[in-house]
Amino acid sequence: MSAHNALRAWPVRRRDGLGLALWDAPALAEAMGGTQSGPFQVSGVEIDSRDVRSGDLFFALKGESTDGHRFIEKAFANGAAAAVVDRPIDWPHILVADTNAALEALAKAARNRGAAVRIGVTGSVGKTGVKEAIFAALDRASRGQAHRSVRSYNNHVGVPLSLARMPARSRFGVFEMGMNHAGEIAALTEQVRPNVAVVTTIAPAHIENLGSEEAIADAKAEIFAGLEPGGFAIIPADSPHYERLRDRALDAGAKVLSFGRADHADVRLLDAIPAANGGALVTADFGDTRLCYSVAEPGEHWIANSLCVMAAVRAAGGDLASAGLALAEMGGLKGRGARHRIAASGGHALMIDESYNANPASMRATLQQLGQTPASRRIAVLGSMKELGDFAPAFHAQLAEPLAEGKVDHAVLVGEEMRALARDLGKGAGNALAGGLTFAHCDGPAEAIAALEEFGIAAGDAILVKGSNSIGLGRLVTHFASRNAGGREG
């Protein structure tokens, strides 16, 4: 066959006719039912004028206390190509009746214009890390044609924004969904309409608003209601709420894939051998095949997370070998496991940044991980866990046992809710759980920085920093990481 004939015989796919720009003015106007001011194209979508980059479309959203129209001039100064507004402006724009409704309309148009397999991820613990790992696996397999929600854009604004940013040529889209009240996941899953719905785990996060773990499981199970016909539900086989989640998924018409150690798990752990870097070498059974792969992230919880990732990748039609390679290369995210080599007396120490989020289950898991981390001393800086309501004193006091199991030598406890743990640890030498542990209680991050400075960080120390984001322990991490002794470890 001649070269000319070979080119003529090249298969033409639907995606080959899709535009290269993220959006152009006619498509935007049609999607949002608005009026374009003139021709233009955009390469991104943004809602915060401070984050606008050259070529972005800026949405002037209205909130309870602010109006994005006040920041239009700043958005264009930062390089915006156009804006979505509810009043005429002197810059390129799409004029709509309601900018908030327009964002949701654009999200729906983005969902429907391409053929991307959409994966929705929720859960009480681990959803951001799992979302990032699924994306890394699918992005590797598709050679850069995967999309995902960035940061923790998982609410009523973040989800439609993430959808609106999805290129038409994407083969996969991975979207995180969060909630703190019943009904919120239901609204988000109707926007994403996932082909694969993932529940990482169920734990007492947001129990203040929902009242019980069973209610939390029901709220997370709302994700199955938005599944496309023939979609998959990925659920934890080891959870005490497994049957509850399975039944909700089956009621929604989903195909169920479970993961875990349990004999009934569809993606089942056969073996996990600790690796020298703190990760693990995992062997998993998929029913029709077995696979051995490495997990770079340390901690028992990441072994379970990896099984969840593998189940989601298989359900999405991705490549398991690429997923294994992605898991072997994963590094910790800022606030969610990033490791910093920091300056210390006599050399350097390790600081583990888990400052973005905390609940009883994740506290226990990360303290267990700290106990397995080689160190001359182990130090835990623990911030209050929020949204636990009347359960807060008991859940905080119960951290005494995980502290002991984590072989913690010194703890800095931060926030009002941590007083319950301080009281428990301070009951005296007769408290066997406390052992030789010393501790200090602080009201906020500034005081915690001073307390850690006073205690003194020495070469070989491992310091875990974990708490709810509102406590502000990210400031403590920034303070000590700025005295860098070699950079991030992973």
Largest CA distance in the chain: 87
What pLDDT was estimated at residue 59?
98
Residues 49/71, Cβ–Cβ less than 8 Å: yes
Q: Domains of the chain by range and CATH?
A: 19-99 (3.40.1390.10), 114-329 (3.40.1190.10), 338-488 (3.90.190.20)
User: What stretches of 324-399 adopt beta strand conformation (E)?
Assistant: 338-344, 347-354, 377-383
Report yes or no: 302 and 295 within 8 Å, Cβ to Cβ: yes
pLDDT at 149: 93
The answer for residues whose C-beta is within 8 angstroms of residue 445's C-beta and 6 or more apart is 414, 471, 472, 473, 475, 476
Contact present, 164 and 212 (Cβ < 8 Å): no
Q: What is the chain's length?
A: 490
What is the pLDDT at residue 96? 98
CA-wise closest residue to 56 among 30, 29, 25, 78: 78
Buried residues in 153-187 as b, exposed as e (16+ CB within 10 A): bbbbbbbbbbbbbbbbebbbbbbbbbbeebebbbb
Identify the segments of the chain with pLDDT beneath 50: 429-432, 487-488, 490
What mean pLDDT value characterizes the chain?
90
pLDDT at 372: 85
Q: What single letter denotes the amino acid at residue 299? A: G
408: its two tokens? 């913690």
CA dist 101 and 182 (Å) reads 22
Distance CA 315, CA 305 (A): 15
pLDDT at 18: 59
Angle between helices 99-113 and 184-192 (to 10 degrees): 50
Contacts with 470 (C-beta within 8 Å, 6 or more apart), sequence order: 386
Q: Which secondary-structure segment (H or E) carries 232?
A: strand 232-236
Angular region, 157: left φ>0, alpha ψ -120 to 50, beta rest: alpha
Is the Cβ–Cβ distance between 374 and 217 less than 8 Å?
no
One DSSP character per residue, 30-98 reads: HHHT-EESS--EESEEES-GGG--TTEEEE--B-SS-BGGGGHHHHHHTT-SEEEESS--SSSEEE-S-
Cα(75)–Cα(54) distance, rounded to whole angstroms?
10
d(CA 260, CA 285): 10
pLDDT in tens, 432-449: 455 579 999 999 999 999
Start-end of H helices in 221-268? 242-251
The C-alpha atoms of residue 463 and residue 451 are separated, in whole angstroms, by 13
Dist CA 51 CA 44 (whole Å): 11
Q: What is the pLDDT of residue 407?
A: 93
Residue type at 5?
N
